[in-house]
Homo-oligomer: A and B are copies of this chain.
């Protein structure tokens, strides 16, 4: 990744894309509007794929440098700000942003040197709840509710287009980020969540049938709070203290 903050752009992350053509068209859409970093999570039919390159129509360099991941979690591990695209609000307690608002947040984060990713789901079924839970906020497009199914590459195009419009209007980024500890990378947060949930499991906090929804709400709450790296260290210290006490008494 570039060391120049101004060269950094949002990272497009396709989760289990199915059609080679959509992957190629995604690359083309990215190149049209100045995005270059593509991450692929477990493409259904493997990678590289025949057909992607021709659909990329000259944007093959983006496919050549695309990186592969086994899971959405791994693909966002090093990022500080993550959006999940969905056509519908999925009953998660997350902020829901339109493209302009999301891109404005992305610009601020990128200007502060953070990594920003946008998750796009499978062609038919989109992102699952656990994948959406990885994100700070939901990015949704102002589609006609009667016809909400946006093609994968088209969705990427809209994000890239808003990025370029904003970047063209706003360079150099003015807003000085407030002085605080860097936002935690996603992997650091996920690891904190697991620590917390393990402690809570150990004391029977979750009724069995409610564990998924309760833990998702807990994660949403903490994500919404936007913890910094220092915050995560502090919370870990608290958890260690409370957990150690439990172990001592066993």
Contacts and interface: CB of A to CB of B under 8 A. Distances in A.
A21 to B, nearest CB: 9
A57 B227 CA distance: 41
Interface string A29-65: 1011110000000000000000000000111000000
A165 B142 contact: yes
Interface stretch (A73-81, A107-115, A128-136, A150-158): A150-158
Copies of chain A in the complex: 2
Given A144-B34, A225-B226, A174 B98 contact: yes
Interface in A102-147: 140-144, 146-147
A64 to B, nearest CB: 15
A1 interface: no
A211 interface: no
Interface in A217-234: 217-218, 221, 224-227, 230-231, 234
B217 A142 contact: no
A231 B223 CA distance: 12
A178 interface: yes
Given A218-B234, A242-B199, A96 B144 contact: no
A205 B238 contact: yes
B98 A144 contact: no
A218 B217 CA distance: 22
Contacts of A217: 234
A217 to B, nearest CB: 7
A115 to B, nearest CB: 21
A68 interface: no
Interface in A188-235: 196, 199-200, 202-205, 217-218, 221, 224-227, 230-231, 234-235
Contact of A33 (B93, B143, B165, B241): B143
Contact of A32 (B33, B59, B150, B205): B150
A97 interface: yes
Of all A-B residue pairs in the complex, the 8 with the closest CB atoms, nearest first, are A249-B249, A225-B225, A203-B245, A98-B174, A205-B241, A31-B147, A142-B173, A34-B144
A154 B29 contact: yes
Contacts of A33: 142-144
11 contacts: A29-B151, A29-B154, A31-B146, A32-B150, A34-B144, A58-B147, A59-B147, A144-B164, A205-B241, A218-B238, A221-B227
